Structure 1
Amino acid sequence: MTFDFHTHHERCGHAQGSIRDYIESALHSGLAMIGIADHSPYFGSEEDHPYPHITMAKSEFPHYITEVLQLKKEYDGKIDVLLGIEADFFPENVDIYRRCFETYPFDFIIGSVHHVDGESIFHKTRWEGLSEAQRIKTKENYYKLIEDSARSGMYQILGHIDAMKGFYPSFSSIQTAAVEKTLKVIAEHDVVIEVNTSGKTKDVGGWYPSDDILEMARHYGVKVTFGSDAHIPERVGDDFELVRKKLREIGYKEWSYFKEKKRYAVSL
C-alpha cells in the first residue's frame, strides 16, 4: 500500500499547482492513495482572509471540499483521493474549528502547531537573544500545544511534530523532557504522527520527526503514517520508500492510513 497523506495546492497561497496536478503526480508515482490536506482557513478570525499567503480564505473552504469530492469521484478506480485538511491548533479556537469541520465528510484531519507564543515556529529570528532558559521554555510551550492537540480529539494525524527545528537546527539539542512527555500523551490518546519529508526543503534538512523521536515514539506505542507535505506536485510521495526502510530499521512493523476517519494498519 503506497500513500501520501499530506499535500497542499494553490489555494493556500504558498503552494503551486491545482489539486488535480497533485493527483496526477500521485498517479504517475504509482501511489494507491493521495490525501489532499491544504491549510484550513483561520476560522477564529473575523476576516475572511487575513493571511492570503498562509491559508485559504474562509469563503474558499466549501469550494475546496466540493472540488476534492468531485475529483474523488472522477478518479475512482484509478487512485483513492482522500478528503483531508491541515488545521492549525489554536487552543482558544478548538470549538470553532470543530464546528466548521463536523459537517463535512473528512477522511482525516491533520493537526499542526505552527505558532508558539504568538509567533510562527518558522520565524528565522525568533531565537535571537534568548537565554538557555528561554529556549527551553519555548520548546516546552511548543510541545505543550502538541499535547493539547492530541487531547482535543479533533485530529487523526499530528503534523510534523518537531518542525520548529526547520530554520533552527539547534532546536533538537535543547535539553528538556517535554518530547518524551508529549509522546506519552500522544500514545495515551491514540493519535497517529506523520513522518513528514518536507524538512529537506528547510535549513535543517531531512525529515520530521528526527530518528531519535521516532525511536522513542515506537517505544511508547505511537503509530505512524506518511506525508510529503508537498507544496509542488513533483514532491508527492517524496522519499516514501526511504521512510518505509527507516521505520523498519527502527522496529516498526506497520503504519496507518485513513478513510472516513477510520484508521487501518498496513504492513511496512
Structure 2
Amino acid sequence: MKFDLHTHHERCGHANGTIEDYIVAALDAGLQAIGISDHSPYFGSEQDQPFPGIAMARSDFQSYVDEVLRLKEKYKDRIEVLLGMESDFFPRHAETYRDAYKNVPFDYLIGSVHQVGGVSIFNRNRWKDLNEEKQIADKVSYYELIQQSARSGMFDILGHIDAMKGYYPAFSDIPAHEAIDDTLRVIAHCDVAIEINTSGSTKDVGGWYPSDDILERALHFGVNVTFGSDAHKPSRVGDDFELVRKRLKEIGFSQWVFYRKRQQIIVPL
C-alpha cells in the first residue's frame, strides 16, 4: 500500500495548490491513501491569523475540515482521503489546542515542534555565536519538547523529529545522544509513530528526517514509523516513497503504519 500522510496547501500561506490538487497528484503517483494535514491555526492567540504565511487563520479551520470531508466523499471510489492536521505543540497552550480539536473527525494528528525558546527551529541565525554548551542545551530542549508532545496524548504521529538540522546540518553532530534515546523511549511507551519526512531534501541538509542513525535506534526501542512527504507543492506528493520503504527494510523494519479514525493501521513493508 502506498500512502502519504503529510501534505499542505494554500491555506497555510506558504504552500501552493488546493487540497484537490494534492488528491489528484496522489492519484497520479499511484497512492491508495492521501492525508491532508495543513498547518493548524495558532490557537494561542485570540487574533484570527497572527502569523500569516505560516499557519492558516482560525476562521479557515472549519472550512478546511468541511472541504476535506467533502473531497473524501467525492473521491471515495478512487482513493482514500484522510483528514489530518499538522499541529504546533506549545506546552503553555496545549489545553487550548486540545479543546479546539474536540469533536473534529480527524483520522490523525501530527504533532510538530517548530519553536524552541521562542525561536523557529528553521531560523538560520539561531546557532550563530553559540558555544558547544549552549548548542547542546538547545538540542536537549528541543527533544524535551518532543517528549512532552508524545506524553500529551494529543497526537498519533510526531513530525520531523530532527528537523532542526534543516538549515544547520551540523545539528546532527551536536552530542545529545542520551536526550534522543530518552525521547525514543518515551515515544515508544506512548505508542506514537514518527514520520519519515522527505522534505529535508528541499533544505540545506538534504536527505530525510530523521537520520538513519535515529531510525536505527527507533527500531531498537520499538517505535512505529510512517511516511510523509511534507509536500508544499503537489508535485512532491509521495516523494521518495519507494526509496524510504527500501531503506527501512535495510535497517530492519518489517512494517509501518497509517491512521484511520485515530486507529493505527499496520502496513507490511
TM-score (normalised: structure 1) = 1.00
Structure 2 residue aligned with 1:42: 42
Structure 1 residue aligned with 2:78: 78
Shift of 1:70: 0.2
Once residues 104 and 91 of structure 2 are traced to their aligned partners in structure 1, the CA distance between those partners, rounded to angstroms, is 21
Once residues 82 and 102 of structure 1 are traced to their aligned partners in structure 2, the CA distance between those partners, rounded to angstroms, is 17
- 1:172-187 aligned within 5 A: 172-176=172-176, 177-187=178-188
Structure 2 residue aligned with 1:200: 201
Residues 1:109 and 2:104 aligned together: no
- Deviation string, structure 1 residues 64-83 (Cα, Å, up to 9, x no partner): 00000000000011000000
1:196 aligned partner, one-letter code = N
* Count of residues in Structure 1 that have an aligned counterpart in Structure 2: 268
Once residues 191 and 82 of structure 2 are traced to their aligned partners in structure 1, the CA distance between those partners, rounded to angstroms, is 21
Structure 1 residue aligned with 2:213: 212
Once residues 29 and 168 of structure 2 are traced to their aligned partners in structure 1, the CA distance between those partners, rounded to angstroms, is 32
Structure 2 residue aligned with 1:133: 133
2:266 aligned partner, one-letter code = A
Partner SS state of residue 164, structure 2:
helix
Partner SS state of residue 263, structure 1:
strand
Partner SS state of residue 77, structure 1:
coil
1:213 aligned partner, one-letter code = I
- Deviation string, structure 1 residues 99-131 (Cα, Å, up to 9, x no partner): 100111000000000000000000001000111
1:81 aligned partner, one-letter code = V
Once residues 23 and 228 of structure 1 are traced to their aligned partners in structure 2, the CA distance between those partners, rounded to angstroms, is 13
Partner SS state of residue 195, structure 1:
strand
Structure 1 residue aligned with 2:14: 14
TM-score (normalised: structure 2) = 0.99
Runs of 5+ in structure 2 lacking a partner? none
Shift of 1:255: 0.3
1:204 aligned partner, one-letter code = V
2:252 aligned partner, one-letter code = G
1:243 aligned partner, one-letter code = V
Once residues 76 and 35 of structure 1 are traced to their aligned partners in structure 2, the CA distance between those partners, rounded to angstroms, is 13
Structure 2 residue aligned with 1:4: 4
Partner SS state of residue 225, structure 1:
strand
Structure 1 residue aligned with 2:155: 155
Once residues 238 and 40 of structure 1 are traced to their aligned partners in structure 2, the CA distance between those partners, rounded to angstroms, is 23
Partner SS state of residue 257, structure 1:
strand
Once residues 165 and 267 of structure 2 are traced to their aligned partners in structure 1, the CA distance between those partners, rounded to angstroms, is 30
Once residues 141 and 160 of structure 1 are traced to their aligned partners in structure 2, the CA distance between those partners, rounded to angstroms, is 16
Residues 1:118 and 2:112 aligned together: no
Once residues 106 and 148 of structure 1 are traced to their aligned partners in structure 2, the CA distance between those partners, rounded to angstroms, is 21
1:63 aligned partner, one-letter code = S
Structure 2 residue aligned with 1:245: 246
Residues 1:227 and 2:228 aligned together: yes
Shift of 1:31: 0.1
2:74 aligned partner, one-letter code = E
Partner SS state of residue 230, structure 1:
coil
Partner SS state of residue 84, structure 2:
strand
Structure 2 residue aligned with 1:164: 164
1:65 aligned partner, one-letter code = V
Partner SS state of residue 149, structure 2:
helix
Partner SS state of residue 85, structure 2:
strand
2:182 aligned partner, one-letter code = K
- Deviation string, structure 1 residues 35-69 (Cα, Å, up to 9, x no partner): 00000000011211011100000000000000000
2:116 aligned partner, one-letter code = V
Once residues 86 and 151 of structure 1 are traced to their aligned partners in structure 2, the CA distance between those partners, rounded to angstroms, is 17
Once residues 65 and 190 of structure 1 are traced to their aligned partners in structure 2, the CA distance between those partners, rounded to angstroms, is 26
Once residues 194 and 102 of structure 1 are traced to their aligned partners in structure 2, the CA distance between those partners, rounded to angstroms, is 24
Structure 2 residue aligned with 1:57: 57
